[in-house]
Every structure is written in structure tokens, then in C-alpha cells.
Amino acid sequence: MRIVAVCGSYHKEEVEKMLEFARDEASMMNSELTDVVWVPGSMEAPLALERLLLREDVDGAITLGIIERGETQHGLVMGQSVTRAIIDLQIKHDKPIGLGIIGPGAEPEHIEPRLEPHARAAVGAVVSMKN
């Protein structure tokens, strides 16, 4: 299975770790992460996914990122909007997308322990939905 990744660069160091876990998981599941596209943050992920899912050589995608808790409801609104857009893209393209976004509302101490499980689960979800 050929999987592409869209990664939010706002927390680039942590997301790079997630990407390594995702690559490892894909390899263990006889799949391959073929392309990685970096975007500024989660808000830009749906557009990058849309562009990638149009390609015939893409079987599925994952999106990796982190939405931290802020002082306002911005992160919650962002998380809900991005998730809805990702669900719509799956249906539109009939290709699975693994959601590997930590948050919204992640506290700094919650991020590190969630990097590996979120990345691996995103890949696992895509592979399990293979037609």
C-alpha cells in the first residue's frame, strides 16, 4: 500500500519523531510512506491531503500534527474543523486517511507519550481500510 503523509511543522521536532514511527509501522505492515508534505499547521492539512489524494499512485494518507491547549477555544474549533474536512476527503476520494493529530487541547506533558501511539495508529487505520 502506498501511503502519503501530511505533517504540521508547527511542532516540527515532535512531528519528525512521529514520522519515523509512522515509517516503521508502514514497513511492518508491508506498506510504504512514499511522500511527505510539510504544512504550517493542522489548518493547512486538508488542502495538502486533497492535492495528494487526486494522484492515482496514492492509496491512502496520514496526517500528523499537534494542537496544544491554548488560552482560547481556537484549538478546539481548529481540531473539529480539520477533522470534519478530513472525514469529507476520505468519502470524496474513497481513500482512507489516518488521523495522527494529537489534541486538540494537548498539554505539553501529554505530547511526548502520545507521539508513537498516534503515529502508529494512523498508519494502522489506513492499512486496515485497504480495499
Task: Let me know: does 130 contact 96? Beta carbons within 8 Å.
Answer: yes
Residue 56, CB-side half-sphere exposure with 13 Å CA sphere: 0
Residue 5 neighbours by CB under 8 Å, 6+ apart: 19, 22, 33, 35, 36, 37, 61, 62, 63, 64
| Of 11, 74, 93, 110, catalytic | 74
74 in active site: yes
Whole-angstrom distance, CA of residue 78 vs CA of residue 128: 27
Task: Let me know: does 102 contact 114? Beta carbons within 8 Å.
Answer: yes
Active site residues: 74
